[in-house]
Amino acid sequence: MPHEHHVDHDTLVLHADTKVNVPKPEAKQRRGQVRYLRDRLEAHIAAHPSYDLVKLRGSGSTAKHTAIRRRRGEGSDADVAAYVRASRVGGLDVKEADLLNWLLERCKEVYGNTKVAEDFVPSDHAVGIIMRGTKLKIDVVPVLYVGDPDDKGYLVTRDGTRVLTSVTQHLQFIRTRRNAAGAEYLELIRLLKAFIREAKRADEQLRCKSFLIELIVAHLWDNGWLGQPLAVHDYPRAFEQVLAYIVNTELRTPISFNDFYRRSAIGASSDAMQVWDPVNPANNIVSSYTEYHRARLVEVAKAAFEEINWAALAPTKGDAVEAWRNLLGPSFGVA
């Protein structure tokens, strides 16, 4: 149909490149700053073999290459997982405030006299470090380490729960699929994250964490949708598939993976949504989402699905662009 190409794959590639993706020089700079921090720590550990800060690992969307451009006041530029020897800080039950204070002092030790007090910005869950030259901010998040292999350790969540995780295995999980699918796999995730960010601007009650987006895309890459593979090389079609999956399943169907454990390791659950961490069968990443949160996310997906269908049949390019603008924000289609 002639109208299908008013907004096509190339249109969304251009939008991603100019409005969504972190510019390549900035992304390179972020990763360079993380490497610099890791190098300083590793040198410190080499000089102090019994040091209680065991290792650092790049984590989060910057390490996964799924980060999108930040807006003013939005979080950090990069995340780092700091593996802390649990036995030296009070064990797995250590109070989070005490743990963060301890981590703050260790970060100061690692940097010595090269930074001033204002360069360290503690928050409720991390120690932020401002890089004076670039003004980039790195959040150092503590992971309680008890000697497990594969960089497994216990992350302290926002509600104080200790959750077993592995930064290295999470990166391997997404890298395996990116290597099979191509670079578009990551860019599709970034575009979907940009869509969710816009949806949250319109509805502050909407819950949909970045990790959930990543795992829905991974599930569809692994399994396809309605007998068709995930169309990572056709972004409008891939958007349609992701949204159709959410609308048709109403997110009532559990999502799980078998990269690092057997699915039989997952126990029974009555949670409203069930999307299982690919490195920990005991961690439903949306366990705190209620029926309201599930239904609200489905409604948002349904409205977006209708916009995309209208865009595919829109009589003019302006109509199609306006429909996509409702998904991706006012900058869509603006040179």
Q: CA angle at residue 212 from 302 to 262, to 5 degrees?
A: 120
Nearest to 150 by CA among 41, 42, 264, 280: 280
Task: Tell me, yes or no, if the two domains 2-17+170-328 and 21-166 fold the same way.
Answer: no
Could you say which of 1.10.1410, 1.10.260, 3.40.50, 1.10.3470 is the CATH number of the domain covering 2-17+170-328? 1.10.1410
Instruction: Please report, for the chain, the start and end positions of each structural domain, with discontinuous segments joined by +.
Output: 2-17+170-328, 21-166
Instruction: Report pLDDT digits (tens) over 65-78.
Output: 999 988 665 555 78
Instruction: Report pLDDT digits (tens) over 266-324.
Output: 999 999 999 999 999 999 999 999 999 999 999 999 999 999 999 999 999 999 999 99
Residue with tokens 């360290």: 120
Instruction: Report pLDDT digits (tens) over 113-151.
Output: 788 888 998 888 899 998 877 778 889 999 999 999 999
Task: Name the strand (E) or helix (H) holding 122.
Answer: strand 120-122
Nearest to 283 by CA among 211, 210, 235, 203: 211
73: left (phi over 0), alpha (psi -120 to 50) or beta: left
Q: Which CATH superfamily is domain 21-166 in?
A: Beta Polymerase, domain 2 (3.30.460.10)
Considering the entire predicted model, what is its pTM?
Answer: 0.93
CB atoms within 10 A of CB 316: 10
* pLDDT band at residue 2 using 50, 70 and 90 as cut-offs: very low
pLDDT at 56: 87
How far is the C-alpha of 315 from the C-alpha of 236, rounded, in Å? Answer: 17
Q: What is the CA radius of gyration of the chain?
A: 21
What is the mean pLDDT of the segment spanning 159-187?
Answer: 95
Give yes or no for a contact between 232 and 286, defined as CB atoms under 8 angstroms apart. no
How far is the C-alpha of 298 from the C-alpha of 244, rounded, in Å? Answer: 10
Q: Give me the percent of the chain exceeding a pLDDT of 70.
A: 96
pLDDT at 113: 76
CB atoms within 10 A of CB 157: 15
